[in-house]
Amino acid sequence: MKRFLAAALMTLAFLLSACNMVAPTQNGEEGMAMDGESGMDMSGGSMAADAIEAQATENGLFIVSAVSQLDPVVINETHSWVIHIETADENPVISADISIEGGMPAHNHGFPTAPRVTENLGDGDYLLEGMRFNMGGVWVLTLEISSGGQTDSVTFEFELK
Ligand SMILES: [Cu+2]
Q: How far is the CA of 104 from the centre of ligand 1 (A)?
A: 5
Averaged pLDDT, 30-38: 44
Confidence bin at 38 (pLDDT 50/70/90): very low
Q: Would 12 be classed as within a structural domain?
A: no
Report if residue 5 sits inside a domain: no
Q: Is the residue at 140 inside a domain? A: yes
104 within some domain:
yes
Instruction: Return left, alpha or beta for 11; rule: phi > 0 is left, psi -120 to 50 is alpha, else beta.
Output: alpha
Give every CB contact of residue 159 below 8 A, 6+ residues apart in sequence: 45, 47, 136, 137, 138, 139
Distance (angstroms) between ligand 1 centre and the Cα of 25 equals 11
Ligand 1: distance of its center to the CA of 33 in Å?
10
Give the DSSP letter string of 110-137: E-SS--EEEEEEETTEEEEEEE---SSE
pLDDT tens, 69-123? 999 999 999 999 999 999 999 999 999 999 999 999 999 999 999 999 999 999 9
The residue segments making up the domain with residue 127 are 44-160
Terminal Cα distance for the chain, rounded: 41
For ligand 1, the distance from its centroid to the CA atom of residue 63, given in whole angstroms, is 28
Residue 121 lies in a domain: yes
Give the C-alpha separation, 144 to 138, whole Å. Answer: 20
For residue 97, what is the domain's CATH number?
2.60.40.3340
Residues contacting residue 91 through CB under 8 Å, at least 6 positions apart? none
Residue 119 resides in a domain: yes
Mean pLDDT of 53-72: 97
- Describe the chain by its helix, strand, coil percentages, rounded to 5: 15, 45, 45
Q: What percent of the chain has pLDDT over 70?
A: 73
Average pLDDT over residues 12-17: 41
Which of 68, 65, 117 is closest to 95 using CA atoms? 117
Is the Cβ–Cβ distance between 115 and 128 less than 8 Å?
yes
**Average pLDDT along the chain:** 83
d(CA 129, CA 149): 25
Whether pLDDT at 28 is above 80:
no
* Those residues with Cβ within 8 angstroms of residue 17's Cβ, 6 or more apart along the chain or in another chain: none
Taking residues 32-52, report their average pLDDT: 67
Question: What is the per-residue pLDDT for 44?
Answer: 82
- Structural domains of the chain, count: 1
- Is 58 inside a domain boundary? yes
23 has a pLDDT exceeding 60: no
**Would 80 be classed as within a structural domain?**
yes
* Cα–ligand 1 centroid distance for 102 (angstroms): 11
